[in-house]
Amino acid sequence: MQPGKPNTVKVTLKKWHTHAGKRYEAGEQIEVTEPERAWLKAREIIAWSVKIVDIKPEKS
């Protein structure tokens, strides 16, 4: 991260959206700041990311 530059995250769009003057279609990824991600989520333009974890049963 560069000093003074906000952290960004990649998000996947659920529907079309214009970002930084460019139109993106559903399924495309864009890079946004945390406040932008919250704004997009509140308007149901993106879904929160979920990390899938492989859980194995304990050996008995």
Give 33-60 pLDDT, tens digit per residue. Answer: 999 999 999 999 998 665 555 666 777 6
CB 44 within 8 A of CB 14: yes
The pLDDT assigned to 32 comes to 92
Strand 17-19, strand 8-12: pairing: unpaired
Average pLDDT over residues 23-32: 94
Q: Where are the domains of the chain?
A: 8-42
> For residue 33, which of 5, 14, 54 has the smallest C-alpha distance?
5
Which position has the token pair 């995250």? 9
> For residue 27, which of 41, 47, 54, 55 has the smallest C-alpha distance?
47
